[in-house]
Amino acid sequence: MSPPETILHADREHRGIEILVPLIILVSGVLFYLLLDDLVLKPLFGDTGIGSFRPLLRLVLAVVLGALVGAGSEAWLKRTWHSGRLLRLGPGELTVVSKEKPAETIRWDRRVNLLCWRYSLQGFPRGGRERRVPAGHHLLACRLLQDDTSVIVHSYLSSAQVQRIPHHQRFTGLNMASLYTSGFLKRRGLPERPALTAEHLSGQQGPVWAAEKKRWTDSLEFDAGDFITLIQTLDSHGLMPSR
């Protein structure tokens, strides 16, 4: 009997969740604001003493409770509402499943070209998903290439989580800050990925920078735990760089 497949769901913070969670926070905050005074604050405190602060308490509690409902809803949605993009890790192959295109497969018994890189989320203006990641975290990414099939995966990990990645020292380190100017006006605007220079693409790290550029528009993002599982699987098939 062959071992069961391992399913890794990608992009847990997909666009649907990004839209729905703020709406849940707004609606629940408004409902708490409308109901708290008559149902809780007025019966408890009346109109004197602490009760004179009821308008402020009402507002603060509505904001706090709305945020708590939003956080709980986000955690539940991430577990139950998937993006539709995933990896199937089987004993003989890795399969990428997506709603946008046909499934793609990489077989373990054939040659796989693996490229791995990393950079710290510090020293440059961050935008998009990276805004929500703590500044002390790191991006780790890999590109798997077999014939015409190319798969790029990435995750954001803390320093402690990076230590759990097999051969993490062998990931090529990129200096993301080198892409950005440091002037005041640049820092004021909304961060955008700048164009890669000829110096970046023609240098020793040129193939890695090219893969990073591709990652900006076509990559599967995984939670730290799932990414570690994936890298451990690659290592078990002898694909990770060991020197």
pLDDT at 190: 46
Strands 93-97 and 138-146: unpaired
- Whether 181 is covered by a domain: the verdict is yes
Residues 212 and 117: beta-carbon distance below 8 Å: yes
- The amino acid at 226: D
Answer yes or no: do 126 and 223 share one domain. yes
Answer yes or no: do 73 and 144 share one domain. no
Band the pLDDT of 63: cuts 50, 70, 90.
very high
Residues 104 and 96: beta-carbon distance below 8 Å: yes
- Whether 61 is covered by a domain: the verdict is yes
Answer yes or no: do 131 and 183 share one domain. yes
Beta strands in the chain (DSSP E): 6-9, 86-89, 93-97, 104-107, 113-120, 138-146, 149-157, 172-173, 220-221
pLDDT at 192: 64
pLDDT at 50: 67
**Smallest Cα–Cα separation from 88: which of 115, 114, 112, 107?**
107
Q: Can you give the pTM of this predicted structure? A: 0.81
- Whether 100 is covered by a domain: the verdict is no
Answer yes or no: do 135 and 187 share one domain. yes
Distances (CA, A) of 110 to 75, 93, 113: 38, 10, 10
Answer yes or no: do 148 and 66 share one domain. no
Phi, then psi, of 173 in degrees rounded to 5 = -90, 125
Tokens of 227: 């990414």
Tokens of 51: 């009760």
- The amino acid at 33: Y
Rg of the Cα atoms in the chain: 23
Answer yes or no: do 115 and 223 share one domain. yes
Please give the tally of structural domains in the chain.
2
Domain range for 36 is 13-80
**Apex CA 238: angle with CA 243 and CA 172, to 5°?**
40
Answer yes or no: do 69 and 24 share one domain. yes
Residue-averaged pLDDT of the chain: 86
pLDDT tens digits, one per residue of 180-219: 765 443 444 445 677 787 888 888 899 999 999 999 888 9
- Whether 145 is covered by a domain: the verdict is yes
- Whether 92 is covered by a domain: the verdict is no
